[in-house]
Structure 1
Amino acid sequence: MLSLIQAAGWPIWPIIFASIIAVGIIGERMWTLRIRIVSPRELLPRVLNEYNRNGVSADMIVRLQKHSPLGQILAAGLKNVRSTREIMKESIEESGRVVAHDLDRYLTTLGTIASLSPLLGLLGTLVGMIEIFGSSSPAGSNPAQLAYGISIALYNAAFGILVAIPSMIFYRHFRAKVDALVVEMELQALKLVEIVHGERQN
């Protein structure tokens, strides 16, 4: 691996740095965006059961806010449980926007890496081309410098693409997953509003 890095020259280091960041973001988002962490299916029935038994309490609100992103949304609705249906929905929508923003964390960076990595590879290719042209002189060409320029050009182009492809795949995967989770939480919150206001049975 060290020999490949040496053959690719200094332009490879930004690509390596970008790949480390991308791997870190992918691992963190895979762990964070699990459905049982973001929108656990058993939470709404538990909340409704506690609401029917004891009503809304400050302790219940605090526990929900700390529980999960879905808990934060349900807590926002229950804070306004004595208000009209419209006000309760508005508070849920406001909380939902904040939660959706949190779920999107780091995805812009991952998308930037996916777009930028091929350009970093192109930069390495250009540096390699400069080395190739520099190997020529009136006295003849320098084979060692020519080979080094070719290796810089090819390795950087390849590494840039290798970083960009999985970064783009995971970026699109996580964006779709966030959208699905947001829809799921909206449905759960709407169900809470309808049940609390007597428009729907459990």
Structure 2
Amino acid sequence: MPLLANAVVDLFIKGGPIMYPIALVSLVAVCIFVERVFWWIRFAAKRSPKQLEEVYVTLESGDLAKAISQSAKSSDPVVRMIHHGLQHRHTSMQGALEVASGQELRDAGRFLSAMDTIVTLAPLLGLLGTVTGIMGSFTSIGSSELAVEKVTGGIGEALIATAAGLGIAIGTLVPMNYFHSRLTALKFDLEAAANNVLILAAQHGFDKVTPKA
């Protein structure tokens, strides 16, 4: 383990000064990844398809008060959205459902734009390291008898910085796409639940808003 740590430190130093912003970007990416993983784990624990189905059955039977009571203290984001819509049925149920849905999607999509920025920024930083490394190599040509070592050192700096930038981008892209897929699935669940509630509400006259065609 100490040998591995020494090798990493050695590569970091040989990568040149551009490795410091690359390391910062890497740290941010790791923090975002960990935070999102734990968020989605907690989110999965909150989902309750059984409770959602019970609310549907209650609404279908026409018992609005019971449906509101069933959804009042739910931790399921879809059921919470339904509860918010039922509470605002006399003003705009559809609008209330959209607002609650937007809040849930905003929380689920948190930091995705930051991850997208990291995917773009990390390779650019690696490319910048490539340019500075090659520039250092060319400026060393013919300057002294140690020019060969300086040239190879500059090329090594360029390759290390490029590899580090690409590694960070690839390591961020995969989880980012996974989180995007989870966000898309949540959006579908929220839209489906909102449409079901609007249909059931229209059937029983709970609100003044008819569902979209």
How many residue pairs are counted as aligned between the two chains? 193
Structure 2: where are the runs of 5+ without partners? 1-7, 205-213
- What does residue 2 of structure 1 align with? 9
Shift of residue 50, structure 1, vs aligned partner: 7.5
Give the direction of change, closer, same or farther, for the CA distance of 1:33–1:47 in structure 2 (3 Å limit).
same
Alpha-carbon contact 2:55-2:70 (below 8 Å) kept: no
**Percent identity of equivalent pairs:** 25
**Aligned pairs (5 A) from 1:65-104:** 67-81=75-89, 83=90, 87-104=92-109
**Aligned pairs (5 A) from 1:29-178:** 29-34=36-41, 36-37=44-45, 39-47=47-55, 52=63, 55=66, 61=72, 63-64=73-74, 67-81=75-89, 83=90, 87-137=92-142, 139=144, 142-178=147-183
Alpha-carbon contact 1:73-1:96 (below 8 Å) kept: yes
Give the TM-score taking structure 2 as reference length: 0.77
Give the direction of change, closer, same or farther, for the CA distance of 1:39–1:194 in structure 2 (3 Å limit).
farther
Give the direction of change, closer, same or farther, for the CA distance of 1:138–1:150 in structure 2 (3 Å limit).
closer
Q: Work out the CA distance in 1 between the residues paired with 2:37 and 2:125.
A: 26
Shift of residue 133, structure 1, vs aligned partner: 1.3
Structure 1: where are the runs of 5+ without partners? none
Task: Give the RMSD, CA atoms, in angstroms.
Answer: 2.7
Shift of residue 37, structure 1, vs aligned partner: 4.2
Q: Work out the CA distance in 2 between the residues paired with 1:57 and 1:169.
A: 40
1:95 aligned partner, one-letter code: A
Alpha-carbon contact 1:44-1:192 (below 8 Å) kept: no
